């Protein structure tokens, strides 16, 4: 089909990552053929690529990725002082984003979405129509969806850029460290975030991040982490990226949709501000946006995502300081190693099966058992 500025599309999705591609796929399945603007594929997006059991359960499509992924069923937690606790009980999937995103985009195009391989340089609303500028031309659309990640140009023209305070910074390497059959999460004193090793099928993602206040020290943390836990790894390529990581619950009060615009995924800031999980929320947003758009009421997306995730994001924001308190991290990793119940709760958080809003209730209810387990572990003759 010929495309030019004279045509007005019904729906333009800027960004063909998980959020935009999955939305294009869901709309296509209902006979609504959106245009997806993205010039980046194929590419390996800076990411851990960790897909939680909860994401796989909710989105069976994730279980159908033809390649390149790897399942691990253990996580090594390391405290700021270096205490280690290996925990199992949940199966995590680590994917290559080149393959995951490529697969989702392929599904979208197969379902009828039109891929426009151009980078959008700006969007402007004029008389109820969006004028979309790309490096190659200009287009128009009645509805615009910002699925263009943390630096969203659609967000710039609607609610405005995510403030520096509500953003995290990450750096890392894709590297050959594929013998490892467990994920690593290493915490640091005075650092709201962690370093990770997520082994994938053909390479690993090794990185450190979230705390923007530590942005200038990230390289030091990363180098120290590699020296300690995987010295001599063969680095393939370095990466650096920003990630939404809200510090203030008020961040989530901003609207994510209007009469003719919607923001989803990272563009909406919908990433777990403690652990940085975003793929599940990107797909979830896409599902809810599809529902609102098919219903002819894009603005409804704003109430749909609030019903689904608002409370949990706000609770995570409130817990962030507490969780990353160095004393808490030290005691937490110690308790993980001594109480099976507490280890299960922590694995639930990482696996996305334990909500933040239900966390306190679960911890309080499990306290007697956790204390008994920890005492038993300390009993003379144990270990
Ligand atoms: C270092 C790091 C590690 C992470 N690890 C994990 C993890 O292990 N598990 C997890 O669940 N989440 C993780 N995340 C978060 C996760 O990567 C994101 O939340 C997720 O990718 C969001 O999907 P999205 O589709 O909203 O945005 P993105 O994946 O960012 O996709 C946006 C797409 O839009 C395109 N785009 C951007 N601007 C334009 C433009 N102007 N014009 C056209 N196209 C444009 C981009 O090329 C991209 O393809 C991590 C993030 C980082 C930075």
Give the CATH number of domain 8-45+98-162+250-320; options: 3.40.50.1000, 3.50.50.60, 3.30.420.480, 3.40.50.720: 3.50.50.60
Task: Give the Å distance between the CA of 17 and the centre of ligand 1.
Answer: 6
- For residue 253, give the 3-state DSSP assignment: helix
**pLDDT tens-digit map of 204-253:** 999 999 888 889 999 999 999 999 999 989 999 999 999 999 999 999 99
Cβ of residue 75 lying under 6 Å from some atom of ligand 1: no
**pLDDT tens-digit map of 23-33:** 999 999 999 99
Domain 50-95+164-244: which topology?
D-Amino Acid Oxidase; Chain A, domain 2 (3.30.9)
Cβ of residue 149 lying under 6 Å from some atom of ligand 1: yes
Residue 8 reports pLDDT greater than 80: no
Task: Give the Å distance between the CA of 139 and the centre of ligand 1.
Answer: 24
Torsion of CA 371, 372, 373, 376, to 10 degrees: 120
Task: Give the Å distance between the CA of 149 and the centre of ligand 1.
Answer: 5
CA distance 33 to 29: 9
Cβ of residue 102 lying under 6 Å from some atom of ligand 1: no
Cβ of residue 268 lying under 6 Å from some atom of ligand 1: no
Instruction: Give the per-residue pLDDT at 34.
Output: 96
Looking from the CA of residue 148, the nearest atom of ligand 1 is 34
Cβ of residue 332 lying under 6 Å from some atom of ligand 1: no
- Whether the Cβ atoms of residue 363 and residue 109 lie closer than 8 Å to each other: no
Instruction: Give the per-residue pLDDT at 77.
Output: 96
Instruction: Give the per-residue pLDDT at 375.
Output: 87
* Least confident piece of the model among 40-54, 167-181, 306-320: 167-181
Per the confidence metrics, is the pTM higher than 0.85? yes
Residue that the structure tokens 């402007």 belong to: 124
Task: Give the Å distance between the CA of 278 and the centre of ligand 1.
Answer: 8
Between residues 130 and 69, the one the model is more confident about: 130
**Tokens standing for 109?**
């195009």
- Whether the Cβ atoms of residue 286 and residue 26 lie closer than 8 Å to each other: yes
Pocket test residue of 44, 47, 167, 284 for ligand 1, highest count of atoms within 8 A of CB: 47
Nearest to 273 by CA among 365, 188, 162, 160: 162
Looking from the CA of residue 118, the nearest atom of ligand 1 is 43
Task: Give the Å distance between the CA of 260 and the centre of ligand 1.
Answer: 23
Cβ of residue 193 lying under 6 Å from some atom of ligand 1: no
Q: Where are the domains of the chain?
A: 8-45+98-162+250-320, 50-95+164-244, 321-378
**pLDDT tens-digit map of 264-298:** 999 999 999 999 999 999 999 999 999 999 999 99
């Amino acid at each position: 089909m010929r495309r030019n500025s004279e045509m007005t599309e019904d729906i333009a999705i800027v960004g063909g990552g998980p959020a935009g591609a999955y939305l294009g796929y869901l709309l296509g399945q209902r006979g609504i053929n959106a245009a997806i603007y993205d010039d980046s594929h194929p590419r390996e997006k800076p990411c851990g690529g960790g897909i939680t059991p909860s994401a796989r359960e909710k989105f069976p499509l994730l279980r159908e990725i033809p390649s390149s992924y790897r399942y691990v069923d253990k996580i090594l937690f390391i405290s700021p002082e270096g205490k280690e606790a290996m925990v199992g009980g949940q199966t995590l999937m680590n994917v290559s984003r080149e393959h995951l995103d490529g697969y989702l985009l392929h599904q979208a195009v197969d379902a009828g979405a039109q891929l426009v391989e151009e980078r959008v340089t700006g969007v402007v609303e004029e008389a109820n129509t969006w004028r979309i500028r790309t490096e190659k031309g200009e287009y128009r659309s009645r509805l615009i969806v910002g699925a263009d990640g943390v630096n969203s140009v659609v967000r710039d023209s609607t609610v405005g850029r995510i403030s520096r305070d509500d953003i995290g910074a990450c750096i890392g390497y894709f590297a050959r460290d594929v013998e490892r059959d467990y994920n690593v999460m290493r915490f640091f004193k005075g650092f709201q975030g962690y370093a990770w090793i997520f082994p994938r099928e053909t390479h690993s993602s090794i990185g450190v991040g979230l705390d923007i206040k530590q942005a200038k020290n990230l390289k030091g943390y990363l180098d120290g982490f590699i020296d300690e836990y995987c010295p001599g790894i063969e680095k393939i390529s370095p990466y650096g990226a920003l990630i939404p990581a809200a510090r203030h619950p008020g961040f989530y009060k901003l609207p994510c949709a209007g009469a003719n615009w919607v923001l989803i995924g990272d563009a909406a800031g919908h990433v777990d501000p403690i652990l940085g999980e975003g793929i599940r929320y990107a797909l979830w947003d896409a599902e809810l946006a599809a529902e609102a758009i098919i219903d002819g009421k894009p603005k409804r997306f704003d109430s749909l995502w609030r019903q689904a995730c608002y409370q949990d994001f706000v609770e995570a924001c409130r817990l962030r300081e507490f969780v990353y308190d160095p004393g808490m991290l030290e005691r937490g990793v110690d308790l993980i190693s001594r109480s099976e119940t507490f280890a299960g709760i922590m694995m639930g958080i990482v696996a996305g099966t334990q909500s933040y809003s239900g966390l306190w209730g679960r911890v309080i209810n499990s306290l007697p058992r956790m204390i008994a387990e920890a005492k038993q572990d300390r009993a003379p003759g144990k270990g």
